[in-house]
Amino acid sequence: MAAYRNYLLVWLALLVLTGATVAISYFELGLWNAGAALFIASVKGTLVALYFMHLRYEVKLVLGFAVFPLFILALLIVGTLMDNLFR
Amino acid sequence: MDHAPEATAGHHGSYLAEKTLRSWALTLDHKRIGVLYICTTLFFFLVGGVVALLLRLKLLTPGPALFSDHTYNVLFTIHGAIMIFLFVIPAIPSSLGNFFIPLMIGARDVVFPRLNLFSYWCFVAGIVVILGSLVSPMDTGWTFYTPYSEQTSAAVTVLSGGLFLVGLSSILTGLNFIVTIHTMRAPGMTWYRMPLFIWAMYATSVIQVLATPVIGITFILLAAERVLGIGFFDPAKGGDPLLFQHFFWFYSHPVVYVMILPAMGIISEVVPVFSRKPIFGYRAIAYSALAIAFIGFLVWGHHMFVSGMGTLAGIVFSFLTFFVAVPTGVKIFNWIATLYRGSISLDSPMLYALTFIFLFIIGGLTGLFLGSLATDVHVHDTYFLVAHFHYTMMGGTVMGLFAGLHYWFPKVTGRMLNEKLAKYAWGLILVGFNLTFFPMFILGMQGMPRRYAEYPAKYQGLNIVATVGSWVLALGVFLMFLNFIRSLRRGGLAPDNPWRGLTLEWSTSSPPPEENFAEIPTVSEWPYNYGEKPERRTEGKRER
Amino acid sequence: MSADAGNKHAGAPVSARLGIWAFLATELLLFGGLFTAYTVFRISYPDLFHLQHLKLNRILGASNTVILLTSSLSMALAIAAIRQGQRKLMEIGVATTLFCGACFLGIKYLEWSEDFARGLFPRSNLFFGLYFVMTGLHGLHVILGMAVMVWLLIKGRQGVFSGDYNTPVEITGLYWHFVDIIWIYLFPLFYLVG
């Protein structure tokens, strides 16, 4: 039962965060809009990964499989921007 | 050796025992799937090779000849696309990798056998779709650069779909290997007791899983642009053609390491066996495979130096490119150190392995010219690049593949190759290869651009040399295949361990039984204790 | 050296988990190309993105987010249930997930048809090109996930899954959560900050 309750709590947190990101979007904050939205999305994504996807309780190897690709994705974005921003 | 009895006594209980078509088409046995891949990829090697011969034949004369310029464009696209996507990329990983990874780590199969079969049929489905695109064949070159690939009337959309399927197959194979290597190793086989081929295949698989999806989405976008009229890569619609190139090379640069790393793995197996010496610098070779895979993700921009990429990116990518040379050099020096004072026997696998080292040094070093921003501007898109690429891919990967095929032929088929024929073939291939491609270095330096159907008459002399070389090369390859086919029936029965190798695949019968090992072996040391033990060797030195 | 050593995990064997995570890595980079394209064009054309994103319905997007988050919850609960051998509860969880997936696609369908009615097509501009391709690819993943879940329900009916064997349920769940995470990013990128 404890497991079920944790999932419900995570789900509630995700709903609250969704509400917050929608609310923020109605204010004009310039670049901070994007920053806040991405930050909240990342928090939500992390919550889903840690609890719904059990990463919090995973062995290190699986954790590595989950995290390493993010690094490669960052390389793709940074490398492309390195050209696009300074062309 | 020759005239072995037709009765295949050694085949009893072997994985080859069942002969029905169904038993091949629906097999879950990694060895059979490996053999299916070997046959498929080698078939496309021959197709791509014939197209290459046609191209070389046309280039015998500077002016118009044989076929139209458009046909020339189509043919070099077909040559490149077939060789890259249907031969070199899957050639070693999917075929020999499939066959030997489980055998070398002491497992009965890969971890997901059904996924493995699905990968193969996905590959075949991709091939069928790609062949379907030949109704309106591509004329874009194998790189499919936008915006031309959006405008041409060729069947780009169909081809994209086919390549997507081939890519999916490649991803699933890589995924299967990664998990297999992590979870299926025999008891006692720690990471540092794994054969170096396994290390190389691990690094390869990581690239396949992480880089291939990017070309997947690129093909999806390319198709979407043509079908839906979006303009991500079309400058007329606000898009950025360089974005296509970034995506394309984010895959296609790492993928050259998908091509070369497994070949390097084979060399790391063959060299110690035929030098009767423990491999020198085991950990350095193992880690350099991972390092090459990783650095391979950082350098894709060096393909775009002259395509309008920003200067900053050019400088950074050029700088990073030099780092690839470090782990590559580490490998080469370690192989040479393994050879040093070994008792070398020049059997055909070793001849190909030495050829690999020789040709790859040339291919690798000329790569530095191209990776260097300043010189690349001069030799980019000339025959210098064509020469470099073929020295690494044919001189490297294909020689590694040939080494592997000769090395493992007895294990796969249960038959020995005709060694004499193998050596003749090798000699022709070595001479023919260098005759074909070395002149291209010079042609490129002199300024002959690639991908043109015609060229100024002053370049004709070296072009004749290259074309004649291609005939010698073709003859050598023909002899080699003749040897394969002939030995399937008439080769002598192979003993379990003809080369006295210590990796696990040699501890089972030739060909292996369906379940690979009667009993799963337990591993207690690394597989490179050839010749004298290291302790005794130092003593011997002191006496001398 | 077995990777299973020190397994703190009750469910699927480590090989299955490694397999699905490696597959998700592939999926991440498949979408990664699109996220890269989004970043590049967003930086190149900030005004276009701002003007165009106002044409999307924020409330519908938020509803879809809530629906997908709920589907993730029901999927997580289904896995927790089958680990304890509660088949009935698992089936309810999977069915709920399936239902949420269908709702998500329904709303998506409404949004798209409204866009088409207003003359907004993939070729209209780069923003809508990205929007249709990314949500379209995401939608395909939702459909694929739903297909697998129908299979799970059929197998579940046959009593295949139990507290000892539930790998397919867990694997499907991981895939589904991943699709959810993709949407968690798509939603703000298109509807909120465009």
Question: pLDDT tens, A36-84?
Answer: 999 999 999 999 999 999 999 999 999 999 999 999 999 999 999 999 9
Q: Residue B298: pLDDT above 90? A: yes
Closest-approach residue (CA) in chain B for C23: B175
Shortest Cα distance from C70 to chain B (angstroms)?
29
Quick check: A79 and B312 in contact, CB under 8 A?
A: no
Three-state DSSP class for residue B281: coil
Which of A5, A14, A43 has the most C C-beta neighbours within 10 Å, making it the best mutation to test the interface with C? Answer: A14
A30 contact partners, CB below 8 Å, separation of at least 6: none
Q: CA–CA separation, B436 vs B378, rounded Å? A: 22
In contact, B302 and B380? CB cutoff 8 Å: no
Q: Dump pLDDT digits (tens) for B240-295.
A: 999 999 999 999 999 999 999 999 999 999 999 999 999 999 999 999 999 999 99
CB contact under 8 A, C15 and B183: yes
pLDDT (0 to 100) of residue A31: 83
Residue type, B341: R
Compute CA B37 distance to the chain's CA centroid, rounded to the nearest angstrom: 13
pLDDT > 70 fraction of chain B, expressed in percent and rounded: 95
Q: What are the structure tokens assigned to B419, written together? A: 């060694």
Q: Which residue has the tokens 């690999």?
A: B356
Place C1 in a pLDDT band, splitting at 50, 70 and 90: very low
User: Which residue is closest to C188 within chain A, CA to CA?
Assistant: A37
Best of A17, A18, A26 to substitute, by most chain C Cβ atoms within 10 angstroms, is: A18
Q: What is the C-alpha to C-alpha distance for residues B206 and B221, in angstroms, rounded to an integer?
A: 24
On whether the CB atoms of residues B111 and C15 are closer than 8 A, the answer is yes
pLDDT digits (tens, 9 = 90+) for C59-100: 999 999 999 999 999 999 999 999 999 999 999 999 999 999
Q: What burial letters (b/e) apply to B137-150, b meaning 16+ CB within 10 Å? A: bbbbbbbbbbbebb
Q: Which residues in chain A have Cβ-Cβ distances shorter than 8 Å to B210?
A: 69, 72
Choose the mutation target among B210, B302, B320 for the interface with A, i.e. most A CBs under 10 Å: B210
B123 in reach of chain A (CB within 8 A): no
> Residue B384: which domain range?
18-543
Q: Does C44 touch chain B (CB under 8 A)?
A: yes
Q: Percentage of chain B with pLDDT > 90?
A: 91
Angstroms from A71 CA to nearest CA on chain C: 10
Express each pLDDT in C136-162 by its tens digit: 999 999 999 999 999 999 999 999 999
**Position B531 pLDDT exceeds 90:** no
User: Are residues A86 and B312, on separate chains, in Cβ contact within 8 Å?
Assistant: yes
Rounded Cα distance between C189 and C39, Å, is 10
Residues of B with CB under 8 A from a CB of C: 111-112, 115, 171, 175-176, 178-179, 182-185, 189-191, 209-214, 216-218, 220-221, 224, 228-232, 237-240, 243, 246-247
Q: Which CA distances in Å does B383 have to B40, B81, B356?
A: 30, 18, 21
Confidence class for position C20, pLDDT limits 50, 70, 90: very high
Q: Token digits for B183? A: 């979870």
Q: Residue B313 and residue A86: Cβ atoms within 8 Å?
A: yes
Predicted confidence at residue B3, as pLDDT, reads: 42
> Does residue B3 form part of some domain?
no
Minimum Cα–Cα distance from A45: chain C residue: C181
Interface test with B, best of C1, C23, C26, C27 (most B CBs within 10 A): C26
Say how far apart CA C169 and CA C162 lie, in whole Å: 10
What's the confidence (pLDDT) of residue B532? 59
Q: Do A15 and C69 touch (CB under 8 A)?
A: yes
B313/A72 touch (CB, cutoff 8 Å), yes or no: no
Check if B47 contacts A (Cβ < 8 Å). no
The answer to whether B308 contacts chain A (CB < 8 Å) is yes
**Looking at this predicted complex, what is its ipTM?**
0.95
**What is the CATH number assigned to the segment(s) C14-192?**
1.20.120.80
Residue B8 lies in a domain: no
Is residue B34 within 8 A of residue B102, CB to CB? The reply is: no
What is d(CA B366, CA C143) in angstroms, rounded to the nearest whole number?
49
Residue C5 has pLDDT above 50, yes or no: no
What's the distance, Cα to Cα, between the start and end of chain B in Å?
Answer: 41
In SS3 terms, B450-507 reads as: CCCCCCCHHHHHHHHHHHHHHHHHHHHHHHHHHHHHHHHHHCCECCCCCCCCCCHHHH
**Of C18, C32, C123, which has the smallest distance from its Cβ to B214's Cβ?**
C32
C158–chain B Cβ distance below 8 A for any pair: no
Q: What is the pLDDT of residues B407-419, one digit of tens each?
A: 999 999 999 999 9
Please state, in angstroms and rounded to a whole number, the distance separating the CA atoms of residues C83 and C86. 7
| C17, C43, C69 member nearest A62 (Cβ) | C17
CA distance B276 to B338: 9
State the average pLDDT over residues B451-480.
97
Instruction: Give the pLDDT of residue A28.
Output: 85
Average pLDDT, chain B: 93
C-alpha–C-alpha distance, residues B289 and B284, integer Å: 9
Q: What three-state secondary structure class fits A42? A: helix
Cβ atoms within 10 Å of B532's Cβ, excluding its own: 14
**B298·A75 Cβ contact <8 A:** yes
pLDDT of residue A2: 72
pLDDT at B10 over 60: no
DSSP characters over B90-105: HIIIIIIIHHHHHHHH
Contact list, C184 vs chain A (CB under 8 Å): 41, 44-45, 48
